[in-house]
Amino acid sequence: MPVSVATGIFNAICRAAVRPCQNHGFTECGAAPNYPDPGCFRFFEKKLSA
């Protein structure tokens, strides 16, 4: 039981952290070149206009 509660809290925190990125025009993408992706990170990018 504690694992599922901890996982649920962690997932809620992750969703709350991702929401501002999405609300400000960032889109999810892969890791930067030569950057190790341990599988638990989420990467975002935003196209900038000149």
pLDDT at 47: 87
Q: With bands split at pLDDT 50, 70 and 90, how would you rate the model's confidence at 6?
A: low
> Taking the domains of the chain in order of start, what are their residue ranges?
2-45
Prediction pTM value: 0.58
pLDDT at 1: 39
Other Cβ atoms closer than 10 A to 18: 14
pLDDT tens-digit map of 12-45: 778 888 888 889 998 988 877 887 766 677 888 8
